[in-house]
Amino acid sequence: MSLPTPVRKGRASACGSWRRQYEALRMSAAQAAEQVRPGDAVAASASANWPYAVDAALAERLRSLAGHIELLSLYAPLDTALLSPDNVDLVSYQANFFSGERLLAPQGNVWYVPAHLSATGDWMCSRRPRVAVIACSAPDENGWMSRSLWGASVPRRTLEEAETVIVAVNRQLPFFSSGGEGHMLFHVSEADAIVEDSRPPAEHPPVPAGDTDRRIAGYIADLVPDGACVQFGLGGLANAVGECLADAGKRDLGLQTEVIGNCVMELMKKGVLNNSRKRTCPGQSVGAYFIGDKRLWDFARENPAFCQKDIYWTNDPRRIAENDRVVSINNAMEIDLTGQVNAESVGPRQYSGTGGQLEWVLGAQWSREGKSIIALRSSYRDKAGALHSKIVPQLPLGSVVTTPRTCVQYVATEYGVADLRYKSVLERARALIAIAHPDFRAELSRNLPW
């Protein structure tokens, strides 16, 4: 894969070789933080790519100046200095996906932005961030750094439009293969400041699959044909789906997805996932984020069987649909009897985010012979141990509709699969009641909302 051409002209881009530029750009975290001015909007890379050293130095600078910034990111770690309760008056934080943020929201300075993940760059640029702070791997022999594990959290458009880009170079971040449109590389000559860091990035070990996950995964695997291009996320269900696809003897699967997790590695090792029939990036597993542990990082590091792409590229429904037989698998928190899916809120309280769910639902259905699947457990137990159905007559007041009923195709629980596409509301209700927990089927039938 040919190398891209640098776009930005960083502060030292005229200083000779990239190695000389690197040395000219090196500075302490405190010096880098001085490039942020009170009143700035600042975009920061997320989670395992969180620039901790600059984060701490910037928090200290804001306290000394009594300054205020707007911070743009997602999946912020709970131990970030900038979002400490002590700095509520200094930082306003916006994110288009919540994780630990749901615990920080009561502080009053943390806000959710409803936006598809593919629009992350558009949303960030709409806030006009003057500064972007990202973490990257060490440079390769050509001066290119990988934006690595969570680098897609600050898309390239944001980096190109920012006045100042501060790069935390962390030699413990793996370098992933990338190239072409939507590549995930950043050149030393494009940077305005470099801070060296050695903090080990956070691992996300795979969540073990439970018996319920395996039952749901079995139904999902039956819907995946040989040669399909699959998309699935994280958690026990994704791992169970991977196991079931291997056990079912599926062949020649491909991958284009938001998140590459450990289950992808296992399917590639077993030869189930070889990307041989894909139209886009044939022969390569494509994703925006690598979320797993060191086993995944070591397997994917500089592995040409992968191609990391920016989130606007992976999640564009038009590009998703370029592959045949795309099967998207997404989770839900609850679904009503007409097929409205809530995958992100508990009533009006934001729990996670819209993410890319609707993008993948549409892209899969636009694909030739494609399928979209919404998966959820049929029930849950509250803190008191009482059982509740996740299939409900109507969504609770204030609940967010992540995927509208007009776009929902297959719904899978541990009790089977309901195909809702082009069904009347009565037919949809009957199909969903049939895969609800048996303890609630009679009650759901008595409480049809029409």
- Count the Cβ atoms, other than its own, within 10 Å of residue 248: 15
* 266 in catalytic set: no
- 382-422 pLDDT, tens digit per residue, is 999 999 999 999 999 999 999 999 999 999 999 999 999 99
Long-range pairs, 99-107, Cβ under 8 A, ≥24: 99/47, 99/74, 99/75, 99/352, 100/75, 100/76, 101/74, 101/75, 101/76, 102/349, 102/350, 102/351, 102/352, 103/78, 104/76, 104/78, 105/350, 107/83
Is residue 237 classed as helix, strand or coil in its secondary structure? helix
- 230-244 pLDDT, tens digit per residue, is 999 888 999 999 999
The pLDDT mean for the chain works out to 97
Q: Which amino acid is at 245?
A: L
Going by C-beta distance under 8 Å and a sequence separation of 6 or more, which residues neighbour residue 319? 280, 313, 363
pLDDT at res. 233: 84
Q: Which amino acid is at 180?
A: G
Q: What is the pTM of this model?
A: 0.96
For residues 24 and 12, is the Cβ–Cβ distance under 8 A? yes
Percent of the chain's residues with pLDDT above 90:
97
- 143-172 pLDDT, tens digit per residue, is 999 999 999 999 999 999 999 999 999 999
pLDDT band at 14 (very low <50, low <70, confident <90, very high): very high
Task: Kindly tell me the sign of the dihedral angle through the C-alpha atoms of 412, 286, 182, 80.
Answer: positive
Active-site choice (101, 258, 266, 334): 258
Report the alpha-carbon distance of residue 393 to residue 448 in Å, rounded. 6
- Count the Cβ atoms, other than its own, within 10 Å of residue 441: 18
pLDDT at res. 1: 64
Report the alpha-carbon distance of residue 243 to residue 295 in Å, rounded. 17
Residue 112, phi then psi, degrees to nearest 5:
-95, 140
Residue 162, phi then psi, degrees to nearest 5:
-70, 145
pLDDT band at 86 (very low <50, low <70, confident <90, very high): very high
